[in-house]
Every structure is written in structure tokens, then in C-alpha cells.
Structure 1
Amino acid sequence: IMARLAVTETFFGIQFPGHLHTQDSLQAATNFPFRPSDVLLVTYPKSGTTWMQEILTFIHSEGDPEPAKTTPNWARLPWLEHLYNGTLAETPEPRLLTTHLPYPALAEALAKAKPKIRLSNSDQIIILIFFNVNAVFPVPSQFLKSAPRSLSLPSLPPVHYGSWFEHVKGWLSCQEESNISYFTYEELHQDLEGCVERLCAFLGISVKPELAEAVRTHCSFASMRENAMVNTTLVPKEILDPSKGQFMRKGIAGDWKNHFSAPLSDRFNTKFQEELGSQGQRFRWAMD
């Protein structure tokens, strides 16, 4: 892995960091043999992936904190496309999976599963789509240097994992499928318990008092930030150096307002409408 830190892989026209991906691992993800009982969490990077992984962990364990306290999140909900997932297909059911891949890369593999939605049992493949409007520019300090010029261009400069707009539009294109549920980072901030109830209903799981309490206690930003299985302290500093910035930053919604000037905000709103206005999506940019 260390030898690939400077490597970039290009797949489906999108750049991916080479220390996590190879052409073989990316291709394997597109041919992944999904099962009807799979739960697939789809996110754009820095969109609250870790938060939703924790929530799904506690739902799966029925509120038992042991898995979240003893197993790293990347082992509990592994990424389909990462190079270390060679035995993922052998994992026993039900499998909780994560991906940052765009919809076109997985469309064929998902279609082969031909899921039938029966919420009273596990005969389904569940796809959870999680967006964060603040993730359009995941590193504000770097983005702001080129933001005025970037928002004037026909397309934003290439970044790892591709355009947030294209990622969102791709997964929104299949929103009529009944086995897909959409959540936003802002929604979880506004009503965590309500989102957990909606998620459990979608998965066909009853919300017991101990589960609700466990999510409130262990899925708070403060708790996750102190949990070594979540906060990336187990990741070698060559990959994630805490002295250069925290992986878990603030855990708030609407932080973009602290970095965007009024003119830049207006220009971004215009760009947003150009890209996603036809989708009819109304994302919450901040808490009221």
C-alpha cells in the first residue's frame, strides 16, 4: 500500500487513490456478485460515510456496542472497490457493504441481482444513498484557492472520486427503484431518531428502546471521535497524518458558510441549479 501512495488509478473516467484501489479491485467491484440480502451504503467521500456506517452497525447488532468497539468500521462495512477486499464475496450473510463508486460502475452488477422487495424478510438488496451538500468541496482551504475560477468553468477540475454533481446525478437517476432509500447529512443532524426509524422501517427492522438509546449514545459525533475503531487512529500516518488535519472535522451542517463569501455562494447556487435543478431535489444546506 505504501508504495502506491503517489499512484492514481483512472476508472470510468474518474480518478481514484492508488493506495486503496487497483484496476483489478475496481473491475472486481463492477462484477461483484450481489446477494438479495445485501445492504449497500453508497456515499460520496466526506459525506458522513462513517456516521452512517456506525448507525448501520448498531441496527445490525440490535444496539450491542461490542462490534463498534472492537472492529474497525472498514471491516464492519467494507468498501467493494478497495484492493484488500479479495475475500469479500465469501463473507457470510447478511453483508453490510460500502462504496464510493458512481452508479454506472455498479449498474450492471446490481441489475443481475434482480432484487425483490419484501420488507418482512431479507429477500432484498438494499441500497442506501447518503449525500452531504457540504461534500461538494471536501477540503475548503484547498478549494477556495481556485473556487472563483472553478465555478466559472464548464466543469470543475478533476478530483479523486470524480465530480460530486455527477455522483449525485447518477444515483438519483435510479431513485424510482423501491429498494433504494436516500438520506442526507443534514437530515441526520436535524432528526437522527426519525432517520433511524425510517431506516429501520426500510430494512424491515423494529426499533427497540435499547437500539434507539445505543444510537443516541454511541453515534454522536463526540463518541465516534473518541472511538479508535472509527476515528482513523489505526490508519498509518503515512496515509492519514493527523498533524495535517483531522479526518473527523466538526460534525456540523452548514460549515460552508464559514468559507464562502456572498458572491461565491451565489455563483455556487447558480452552478447547483445548472447541474441538479432538473432533478427536483431540495437539499438542506444548513440547519434552521
Structure 2
Amino acid sequence: MQRETLCLAPDSTSMNERMNTTEIFDGIRFPGFLHTLESLKAACSFQFQDTDVLLVTFPKSGTTWMQQVLSLIFCEGHLWPIHHLPNWARMPWMEQASFSSLLSKLNTSWPRLLTSHLNAKGLSPALMKSKAKVVYMGRNPKDVLVSYYHFHQIAGFLPNPSSFEDFADEFLEGTGFFGSWFDHVKGWLGLQKDLTLLFVTYEELHQEPRSTIRKLSEFLGRTLGPKEEEIILEHSSFSFMSQSNMVNYSLLSKEIIDQSQGKFLRKGVVGNWREYFTPELNEKFNAVYQSKMGDSGLSLPWTMD
């Protein structure tokens, strides 16, 4: 397959001129290379079908991994899409400018599998008009921060951070691209009684992949046999995904994601934040986390230690 230069961009002619632009929607910054105000507004007024399955994440929370798992659950052992369709074509982002063209090409034998980084305030009103199922994937915010920092260094459409400490401050203040991690998690998990929503974490998929896949398949109403479970485990492993150009974003041009500066699928581990956090940053992060999440009433499985 040829390297793609426009699969994620609004169109090929505007790719370069939009590379360094920013769209601000409802007070939140989005990279203009991937989003337009029109595409963001369209996502918030999207007409969901009752059979739709929507994956929602804050960036760098295991989105690509869960896209792979959900695709495998629905492909029922028939692996042609896994080997021939990039993850963004199997589960396109609703808010991106490429969405409408990708939506029309989705596999009609599956429910529509969709992805979004939008917050609950923007997307939930449209969702509540349907019985669509939502998988919300969360991850320890310290690992999110580290992964996001590295992604900024390889993504041509995101600014290169001046330092890890400055990037951490922006993350804690919620002023970076896609807004506040804290607001994103609280907003979506606060709707568990209003939506058909399953909360899954990066950590549980990492530590208990088989039981997590079973939980997902039960939620989605898909019965998996032992052979199908093994196929899913194999094809959603870090070793498989990191080598698959349908998953590892190697199809994109160097101008979009420069993997000579670092891999898109970097490590696939839990707790990597400890290699980057100074004691001072850890104390600061914990204080902000407690102030923002301490009274949320949410039961979150990760430890801040």
C-alpha cells in the first residue's frame, strides 16, 4: 500500500497550509490539520444509530489499541480488515474533517464502529437520542502525559514542547490540545447512568487482556469462542501492532508523523511516567489530581504513587 498523505487531512491541497493551524471549538484547542469548525460542529449534531459503537478516549489513552480490539471482536475471525484497512478507516474519528468520506466506506456487515476524542458536553446530547453503545477508555494521567509529550515530538501538526516540565504544566492546566484530561474523564464517567457506557482502562487491558476482552464482548453482545479469543489476543498484542502498518501509522508521510524521531507505538507499558517525573513534579501533579478528582465520586483504578 502506498504511503498516505491525505487520509487524515481535510484535502490534499490544504494539507501544508493547515499543518500549523489551530481550531478553537467551545473553548478547546484542536489541531487544524485534522479538524475544521465545520467537522467539529457536524460531530456534535451527528445522528447516531442504535447499533453504533463509539470508542471515546482522551488522546494517548490506548485509543489505537482499543480500536484494534473492537475491530477484532466484530470481525469474528475474518482478518481481511485487520490486514488491509488502517485503524482510522475501520473506526474513523467523528470530529475529523475526513470523517464523512470514511463513514460512507465502513463495512456494512458490522455495526458502525466510531471513535472520538470529544468531551461529553459536546457529544453526549446527540448520543442520548439513540441507544448507541459507548466504550470509554481511560488511563493513568501520568502515563497519558508522558505518551502525549512524545507524540507532540513526532506529530508535524502539533507544536514541539519546549520542555517536559512546561508540557506538564499545560496538561495540568488543561490548556493544551483537546482540553483538560480531568474534565474529559469526569464528564464522560459522570454519564454512566445516562448512556449505555462501559468504562475500561488501559491498565486492565494490559494486566488482564483475556478477561477484559470477555467483558467487552459481553457488553457488545458478541459471543466469542476460545479460538476467537486467541486470535484477538494475538492480533492486539503490542508485538503484532507495532509491526503492522495498518496500526502503527507508518502509512503516514514523515511530514505528518515523523517516526524517525520516535515510534507512534512507543512502549505499550504501564508506569513509564516514573522515568520522567521528578519528585517535585510528582508532588505537584498529585496535588492537582486530588484537587480536581478528589470529590468526583468516581472509582478510578490507578494509583498516583
TM-score (norm 2): 0.84
Q: Which amino acid aligns with 2:302?
A: R
Match of 1:65 in 2: 79
Q: Describe the superposition over 1:188-207 as per-residue Cα deviations: whole angstroms up to 9, x where unpaired.
A: 11100010000011111112
1:224-280, Cα deviation, whole Å (9 max, x unpaired):
000000110111111101122211111001101111122321221121111111223
Q: Which moved more, 1:165-174 or 1:80-89?
A: 80-89
In structure 1, runs of 5+ residues without a counterpart are 116-124
Answer yes or no: is the 8 Å Cα contact 2:69–2:236 preserved in 1: yes
**Partner of 1:53: helix, strand, or coil?**
helix
Per the alignment, residue 259 of structure 2 pairs with: 242
SS at match of 1:40: strand
Count matched residues.
274
Could you tell me how far apart the structure 1 residues matched to 2:120 and 2:236 are?
Answer: 28
Contact 1:101–1:161, Cα closer than 8 Å, also in 2: yes
Is the Cα–Cα contact under 8 Å of residues 14 and 160 in structure 1 kept in the other structure?
yes
Given that residues 77 and 231 in structure 2 are in contact (C-alpha distance below 8 angstroms), is that contact kept between their aligned partners in structure 1? Answer: yes
Task: Decide whether aligned partners of structure 1 residues 271 and 202 sit closer, same or farther in structure 2, where only a CA change above 3 A counts.
Answer: same
AA at the equivalent of 1:29: A
Structure 1 residues 286 and 221, CA gap change in structure 2 (3 angstroms)? farther
Which residue identity is paired with 1:245?
A: G
For 1:268 and 1:286, the matched residues in 2 are separated by: 9
- SS in structure 2 opposite 1:129? strand
Change in Cα spacing, 1:88 to 1:35, as seen in structure 2 (3 Å) is farther
Match of 1:165 in 2: 182
Contact 2:56 2:115 in 1 (8 A): yes
Q: For residues 70 and 285 of structure 1, what CA distance do their matches in structure 2 show?
A: 38
Cα deviation for residue 157 of structure 1 reads 5.6
Q: Confirm or deny that 1:182 pairs with 2:199.
A: yes
- Whole-angstrom CA distance in 2 between matches of 1:88 and 1:76: 8
Give the alignment of 1:87-166 within 5 angstroms.
87=101, 90=104, 91=106, 92=108, 94-113=111-130, 115=131, 125-133=132-140, 134-137=143-146, 138-139=148-149, 142=161, 144-146=164-166, 150=169, 156=173, 158-166=175-183
Give the deviation of 1:285 after TM superposition: 4.0
Shift, 1:89, TM fit: 5.6
- The structural deviation recorded for 1:286 is 8.5
Partners of 2:23 and 2:29 within 8 A in 1: yes
SS of aligned partner of 1:176: coil
Q: Distance in 1 between matches of 2:100 and 2:177?
A: 23
Distance 2:77 2:137 in 1: 22
Distance 1:285 1:51, change over 3 A: farther
Distance 1:179 1:5, change over 3 A: same
Deviation string 1:141-183 (CA, Å, 9 cap, x unpaired) is: 94533268x39x9x61621111111111111110223610001
CA distance in 2, matches of 1:110, 1:179: 10
* Partner in structure 1 of residue 52 of structure 2: 38
Name structure 2 gaps, 5 residues minimum.
1-14, 154-160
Classify the secondary structure of the residue corresponding to 1:112. coil
